[in-house]
Amino acid sequence: MNGELELFDVTIIGGGSAGLFAAYYTGMREMKTKIIENQSELGGTVSVFYPEKYIYDVGGIAKISGNKLIEQLKEQALMFDPTIIFNQKVERLEQLNDGTYILTTNTGEKHHTKTVIIAVGPGAFSINRLKLNNQFIDPGKHIHYESVDPKNFAGKNVLIYGGINTAVSMANSLSNSAENVYLMHKHDKFKALESDLEQLKHADVEMLTPYTMTGLDGNRDSLVGVHARNIKTKKDLNIPVDDLIICQGYSFDVSPVTDWGFTLENRRIPVNENMETHMKGVFVAGDIAGYPQKWRLLASAFNEAVTAANHAKYHVDPAAAKQVYSTILFDE
């Protein structure tokens, strides 16, 4: 059967920031590269969590939005025409007697590869939905979950529900364009960056704390208002709104990684200085990589991706140089 499968030098599990940069480097090293992405598009958590937010921790770029960064990472990764598989979730990772690997996905499709780079971020993620009267509230025309474009709410009455940094950041973004912005949280304090909280103090945002939502006037496609109750005073409040944005974060599932034969430490796969796991030829980059003094930064993920890619190349071809430099490769 394996003879019928196309053999790749490296298969990257995950098409987020680390996976895309790894694909660029493996392509640059002339490795036959495949990316397997669980979602229907590339971009990973940056596309979901920070599409409009600015990112500041990429060297040489003062600031860049999440969407723009992913656009540039895609352009970079696709320079060497990697094979990309969408909507498949790797369920099994099996090493063969010759040292190569077979990856089996949820569709039953198998992928044959000499090396693997795991770049699945913090794990498979699902949004934390709001529950009212024992029913989950679904997104719709006027009910939204987190990742939205602030430009769509100009001139509207908008209520943001949640206490995480995304909620605070969204309130700040909308304060200059929406007609009225309400920020509701069940606690008095928000879990947000100090700079965002300081900005919130001066923003045109009406704070509703500590309030919990008790009901809606209208439905997901035709919203009129929101019912709320003060947790301390039990006072009820009706707020006329055009749109509701729910920011309750995400849940992450790393159980598929354990099914591949890894024992996690602090929800990460332990690796050595080469970003290699206990399985020879299997490397890790990004949030899921675990080692002492780990920094969860994009800058760190890019460095891990380069390390993993170079050592994957060396694993496939021990005669190859352990490092190459793109400035030399593309010098004309």
Q: Which residues are annotated as a binding site for FAD?
A: 37, 50, 90, 125, 287, 327
3-state DSSP: the chain helix, strand, coil percent, rounded to 5?
25, 30, 40
Distance from C-alpha of 329 to C-alpha of 133, rounded to nearest angstrom: 61
Determine the longest span between alpha carbons in the chain, in angstroms. 73
Residue ranges for the binding site? 37, 50, 90, 125, 287, 327
* Side-chain-side CA neighbours of residue 238 (13 Å): 6
Angle made by CA atoms 33, 281, 20, in degrees to the nearest 5: 35
Integer Cα distance of 78 and 158 in angstroms: 39
Cβ-based neighbours of 190, under 8 Å, separated by 6 or more: 163, 164, 165, 167, 168, 197, 200
Q: Are 286 and 16 in contact, with CB atoms under 8 Å apart?
A: yes
Q: What are phi and psi of 45, to 5 degrees?
A: -70, -30
Which residues, listed in sequence order, are joined to residue 240 by a DSSP beta bridge?
A: 225
Phi and psi angles of residue 176, each rounded to the nearest 5 degrees, phi first: -95, -10
> The tokens of 210 are what?
């500590």
